[in-house]
Structure 1
Amino acid sequence: MGHRHRFLCITSVLLQPLAGMSRPGTAAECWQAGFTYERCCLRSFGPDATCFPPGYGFDETSCCSGLLQALLAAQHRGDDGPSRAEASWLGVRRCAERSKEEAASEPASLVGNEFLKTLTCIASLPSVDIVMDTFLGGGFSCKAIATGLATSKPRKRPPTVLAFEMYEDRIDSALKLLNEVPLPLKSPIVADIVKEEGENIPLSNDYKEKLYRYQSDLLEALQSAPVLDKEPLQMVFAHGTPLARRSLRHYAWNALDIACQHLAPVDLVVIDQDFADVTKEWFIIETVCRPRLVALFNVNIHGGGGWIKNRLEILDNWQLEAKGVLKLGDSMWLSMTEVRRLRAWTIFSNLAVHP
Structure 2
Amino acid sequence: MKVRGWAAKEKGAQLEPLEYELEVSSPHEVLVAVEACGICHSDIHMIDNDWQMSTYPLVPGHEVVGRVVEKGAAVEGLEVGQRVGIGWQASACMTCPDCLSGNENLCDHHQGLIVTGKGGFASHVKVDGRFALPFPEKLPVEAGPLLCGGVTVYSALRHAGMSSGQRVGVIGLGGLGHLAVLFAARLGNEVTVFTTTPEKAKEAEKLGATRAFVVEPGQSPPAPPYRLNLLLSTVPYPQDWVAYLHWLDSDGTLVLVAGGPKPLEIPFWALLTKRRRIMGSPIGGRAILKETLELAARLGITPKVEVFPMASVNQALEHVRQNRVRYRAVLRNA
**Same fold, TM exceeding 0.5?**
no
- The structure richer in strand per residue is 2
- Shorter-chain TM-score bucket reads under 0.3
TM-score normalised per structure 2: 0.27
